[in-house]
């Protein structure tokens, strides 16, 4: 495929995003606007200042700014506006389905009502399906910098809102927070019928990936790149079909990997680990959304057509979408394969 056709082929692929923190899509202009209308003091008066502050030396240096951004949110409308801005942006990049992390624990601990958050987000999801044909699942994401008891309290509060929440995730820094601390939390979440995933092996050691699989029984692994020095754990990911949701631009900007080719993308592809590419916190990482992550991987690594099809197929297979949505995504991927004669020219069914 010539480079121009290849780039169009990658744009045409139906995008499925499984690792995006809603609060990480807060563009600086919207942060300023919501802070003003809610009378929240933040140490910035312009979007430009926030962009200038968005240069990071580590995961923690990012989290410090990121959680400051959380403080502007108060009302149901705020959450609607935040997710709506994401939908509007990604609709232009052919996003078809997403499962989004929302970090209610920060907001509820500040006094915001969980119901306002969930219902504000849900309203926008309904509208996005109508207006853009985008489907969205909401993942209530627990934060490791709060104690497990606080996580459990939030999960219990979320039970009556169960129908609006597709799964439970866990993020924030892994430092000093091994998966073994959260066994009861994940047992409770699974008992409620929620899907479960967790950040593991972003900055944490390989054992955190293994323990998240074996103790927390995660269905997919967010980042998961920390397993790369342990072939036995990479094999476990492949054998148990635990897909990893990779975030290539995030890993480079947070100094987790030296560059995109130095992440384990090639290693995991060759080991037949399921994986997909995602944006993590697009607004804080130079407004690089999922389509820009796809383009960056192609620019740095030049994956084959076969591998690109696998990435999107894996994302569909890893998703927690209902069967009808999954069927529609499959049809769209098959349509792109037919358009580019992928079966005839590249031998992929
Ligand atoms: N990259 C990341 N790692 C852990 N927690 C996060 N929350 C938002 N982005 C995150
Ligand atoms: Zn993340």
Supply the residues annotated as catalytic: 202
CATH number for the domain harbouring residue 227: 3.20.20.140
Owner of token pair 């990480």: 24
Distance CA 226, CA 209 (A): 7
171 ligand 1 Cβ < 6 A:
yes
pLDDT digits (tens, 9 = 90+) for 319-347: 999 999 999 999 999 999 999 998 888 87
Q: How far is the CA of 283 from the centre of ligand 2 (A)?
A: 13
The answer to whether position 348 is within a domain reads: no
| Closest by CA position to 286, among listed 51, 83, 84, 22 | 51
Distance of CA 84 to the CA centre of its chain: 16
> Which residue's CA is minimally distant from atom 10 of ligand 1?
172
Domain count, the chain: 1
Quick check: 243 and 273 in contact, CB under 8 A? Answer: yes
- What's the whole-model pTM score? 0.98
Cβ of 212 less than 6 Å from ligand 1: no
Pairing of strands 15-17, 135-143: unpaired
* Domain membership of residue 12 as a residue range: 3-338
**What per-residue confidence (pLDDT) applies to 345?**
86
Inter-helix orientation angle 3-12/290-301, to 10°: 150
In a domain, 322, yes or no: yes
Would 307 be classed as within a structural domain?
yes
What does the alpha-carbon distance between residue 32 and residue 282 come to, in Å, rounded to a whole number?
17
Q: Is the dihedral of CA 101, 104, 226, 272 positive or negative?
A: negative
* Ligand 2 centroid, distance to 18 Cα (angstroms): 10
**Is 145 annotated for ligand binding?**
no
Helices 114-132 and 148-158 pack at an angle, to 10 degrees, of 60
- How far, in Å, CA of 124 to CA of 88, rounded? 11
List pLDDT tens digits, range 118-143: 999 999 999 999 999 999 999 999 99
- Does a structural domain hold residue 343? no
For residue 73, give every residue at least 6 positions away whose Cβ sits within 8 Å of its Cβ, in sequence order, or none.
23, 34, 38, 79, 82, 107, 112
For range 178-190, the mean pLDDT: 98
Q: How do residues 225-277 score in pLDDT, each as one tens digit?
A: 999 999 999 999 999 999 999 999 999 999 999 999 999 999 999 999 999 99
Phi and psi at 99, nearest 5°, equal -125, 115
Q: What is the rounded average pLDDT for all residues in the chain?
A: 97
Flag whether 346 is in a domain. no
Q: Is the pLDDT of residue 97 over 90?
A: yes
Element (H, E) at 199: strand 195-200
Residues in the chain: 349
Q: Give yes or no for a contact between 306 and 348, defined as CB atoms under 8 angstroms apart.
A: yes
Q: Is 106 near ligand 1, meaning CB less than 6 Å away?
A: no
Q: How many angstroms does the Cα of residue 223 sit away from the middle of ligand 2?
A: 7
In contact, 159 and 145? CB cutoff 8 Å: no
**Nearest CA owner, ligand 1 atom 3:** 172
Residue 191: CB atoms within 10 A of its CB come to 8
**Assigned domain for 68 exists:** yes
**Beta-bridge mates of residue 122:** none
349 confidence band (pLDDT: 50, 70, 90): low
The closest residue, in CA terms, to atom 6 on ligand 1 is 172
What is the rounded distance in angstroms from the CA atom of residue 16 to the CA atom of residue 19?
10
**Residue 4, CA distances (Å) to 11, 17, 73, 179 in order:** 11, 24, 42, 45
24 lines ligand 1 (CB under 6 A): yes
Query: Is 180 within a domain?
Result: yes
| Predicted confidence (pLDDT) at residue 175 exceeds the cutoff of 90 | yes
């Amino acid at each position: 495929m010539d480079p121009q056709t290849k780039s169009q082929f990658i744009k045409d692929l139906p995008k499925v995003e499984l690792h995006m923190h809603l609060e990480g899509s807060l563009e600086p202009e919207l942060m300023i606007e919501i802070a003003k209308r809610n009378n929240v003091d933040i140490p910035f008066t312009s979007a430009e200042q926030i962009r200038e502050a968005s240069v990071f030396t580590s995961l923690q240096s990012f989290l410090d700014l990121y959680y400051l951004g959380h403080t502007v949110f108060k009302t149901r409308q705020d959450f609607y506006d935040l997710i709506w801005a994401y939908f509007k942006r990604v609709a232009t990049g052919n996003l078809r389905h997403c499962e989004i992390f929302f970090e209610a624990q920060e907001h509820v601990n500040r006094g915001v009502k969980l119901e306002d958050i969930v219902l504000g987000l849900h309203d926008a999801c309904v509208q996005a399906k109508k207006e853009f044909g985008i489907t969205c699942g909401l993942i209530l994401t627990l934060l490791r910098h709060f104690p497990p008891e606080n996580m459990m309290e939030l999960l219990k509060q979320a039970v009556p809102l169960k129908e609006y929440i597709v799964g439970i995730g866990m993020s924030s820094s892994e430092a000093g927070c091994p998966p073994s601390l959260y066994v009861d939390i994940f047992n409770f979440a699974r008992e409620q019928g929620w899907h479960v995933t967790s950040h593991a092996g972003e900055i944490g050691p390989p054992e955190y990936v293994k323990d998240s699989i074996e103790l927390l029984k995660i269905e997919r692994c967010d980042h998961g790149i920390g397993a790369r020095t342990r072939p036995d754990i990479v094999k476990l990911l492949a054998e148990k079909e635990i897909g990893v949701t990779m975030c290539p631009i995030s890993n480079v900007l947070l100094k987790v990997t030296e560059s995109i080719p130095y992440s384990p993308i090639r290693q995991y592809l060759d080991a037949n680990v399921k994986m997909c590419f995602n944006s993590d916190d697009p607004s804080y990482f130079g407004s690089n959304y999922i389509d820009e992550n796809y383009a960056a991987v192609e620019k740095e690594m030049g994956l084959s057509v076969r591998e690109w099809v696998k990435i999107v197929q894996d994302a569909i297979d890893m998703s927690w979408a209902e069967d009808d949505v999954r069927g529609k995504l499959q049809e769209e991927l098959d349509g792109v394969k037919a358009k580019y004669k992928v079966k005839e020219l590249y031998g992929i069914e």
